[in-house]
Amino acid sequence: MASEPSELIAPCGMNCALCAGYLALKNDVKNQGIRIPTCPGCRPRGKQCAYLKKQCPKLNGEIRFCYECKTFPCHRLKTIDARYQNRYRTSFIENLLFIKEKGMEEFLQSQQKKWQCPNCGEMTSCHNGLCFKCDLEKLRAKKQKFRWEDNQETQAKNKPKNQIKNRQTKTL
């Protein structure tokens, strides 16, 4: 696993330290009877970015972060960012702009403050809002390990009202 927290910030702006896969590996939840895919993070496993590398040749060494690119934010990054804002309460583009404007150290401090577990101080997962130390029973009981509890409610709130209305009239 990465020794430097900055190694866990992917080029796309994903903080891999908040990823359920990274937290599962770090906290060894597999040996505690919880089945969830694990990952050491994009940069530590040499992938640069699990989301964009195949679509972006500049991630093969030309740039370190997507904000360094002339086309930032590109269509692919905007698509992933919208999904993560909707499902996981985080924005890759906002993360990248923060790093660009205020630097990595201040970004890491803000992430620690935002995602820190109030009980133990560990980071919680952006994928489900759970601490992989304190919330193991909740994690074990979840059918969808990569979803927030109120995700369906959040998605309904984020849909345009005409889509919700159309869906309601179809079920009547």
pLDDT digits (tens, 9 = 90+) for 152-172: 444 444 444 443 344 343 444
Task: Give the residue with greater pLDDT, 140 vs 100.
Answer: 100
In order of 54, 67, 98, 102, the CA distances from 95 in angstroms are 21, 10, 5, 10
> What pLDDT does 156 receive?
41
Q: What is the pLDDT of residues 52-99, one digit of tens each?
A: 767 788 887 888 999 999 999 999 999 999 999 999 999 999 999 999
User: How many alpha carbons fall within 13 Å on the CB side of residue 128?
Assistant: 21
Q: Is the pLDDT of residue 41 over 60?
A: yes
- Domains of the chain, by residue range, sit at 5-171
Q: What is the pLDDT of residues 130-139, one digit of tens each?
A: 999 999 998 8
Closest CA to 90 of 102, 80, 100, 103: 80
Instruction: Compute the average pLDDT of residues 35-40.
Output: 90
Sign of CA dihedral 144, 14, 16, 51: positive
CB 107 within 8 A of CB 113: no
Quickly tell me which residue has 């940069």 as its tokens.
43
The residues near 80 (Cβ < 8 Å, ≥ 6 apart) are: 12, 51, 52, 92
